[in-house]
Structure 1
Amino acid sequence: MAAPPPPAAPRRNLLPFAGVALVLLALFNGLDAMAALTDSKVLTGTDRYVFGDLHSLGWTVLALAIAQGLAGIRLLTGDLPSRWFPTAVLCADLFVQFVFLPSYPVWSLLIIAIDVVALWAVLTAPDPR
């Protein structure tokens, strides 16, 4: 008779990582929003936007940054049953970063990678119940 399989290793909870990543993404997107709203020379130039202008993009990214900050704080304080909000915020940021992709491809791809890893951490975390 074969020996029973060894017990599975407990899964690590990566929600604190996701919370810190969301707070950092909120900081980065807040800086991008401030640059867009103040007509910074970093974002202006020959960039063309399909939806609206640079100011509307700035307000959208600022609202997203506030939502990311709130979602990160909720994860860091242990509000685990409501993981749908951080998931929705991370998915929204994935789409918003595609707007910046033509202007800043390396930066946008870095932020998209952080979004994907944080999204994976939120979705694969063990159920708190």
Structure 2
Amino acid sequence: MAEQTAPGYGSAGQVQEKSSWAVGFILFAGIMMIVAGGFQAFMGLVALFENEFYVATRNYLFQFDATAWGWIHLPGGLLVVGAGFAVMAGKTWGRVIGIILAVLSLLANFAFIPYYPFWSLTIIAVDIFVIWALVAHGRDVTA
């Protein structure tokens, strides 16, 4: 029969230490969420106030108006910033929301590639790292 232990304790009753690498990955993921979310919100503001800044290629499946992209990126970026602060505070709900928002951000930026390719691919890479860090090491920072 398996032995029940309290959280944070090993099978011999020894306190398990949190990995400093894992904590570092989570804190870095939280910071990246704040920075990327802030830039994404700024990108949304640019799309709202300067319609001709983003130019799409022709015949693309996800062809939206720049104003629509602005309304997609602005609230999405602000939500990612809030989730980043929650992740850094060690909140479990912040981790869950952070994973969901990172997946949504990844999908939105995939659809945004024709409008601003370099930035979209950069944010996709950051989102993949954030998802990995929150899934693999998120429990090491929970409050």
Bin for the TM-score computed over the shorter chain? 0.7 to 0.9
Hey, what's the Cα distance between the residues in 2 that align with 1:25 and 1:104? 15
Give the superposition deviation at 1:104.
2.2
Deviations 1:51-110 (A, max 9, x none): 64221221111110111011001011221x222100001000000101221122222111
Structure 1 pair 97/10, CA: closer, same or farther in 2 (3 Å)? Answer: same
Other structure's SS at 1:43 match: coil
Equivalent position of 1:63 in the other structure: 75
Identity fraction in percent: 25
Return 5+ residue gaps in structure 2 as ranges. Answer: 1-16
Structure 1 pair 67/122, CA: closer, same or farther in 2 (3 Å)? Answer: same
Give the superposition deviation at 1:44.
4.1
TM-score (norm: length of structure 1): 0.80
Root-mean-square deviation (CA, aligned residues, Å) is 2.3
Structure with more helix by fraction: 2
AA in 1 matched with 2:87: L
Other structure's SS at 2:137 match: coil
Structure 1 pair 28/98, CA: closer, same or farther in 2 (3 Å)? Answer: same
Hey, what's the Cα distance between the residues in 1 that align with 2:72 and 2:138? 32
Equivalent position of 2:107 in the other structure: 95
TM-score (norm: length of structure 2): 0.73
Structure 1 pair 44/24, CA: closer, same or farther in 2 (3 Å)? Answer: same
Other structure's SS at 2:124 match: helix
Aligned length: 120
Hey, what's the Cα distance between the residues in 1 that align with 2:61 and 2:85? 32
Equivalent residues in 2 for 1:27-66, closer than 5 Å? 27-44=38-55, 50=62, 52-66=64-78
Return 5+ residue gaps in structure 1 as ranges. Answer: 1-8
Equivalent position of 1:122 in the other structure: 134
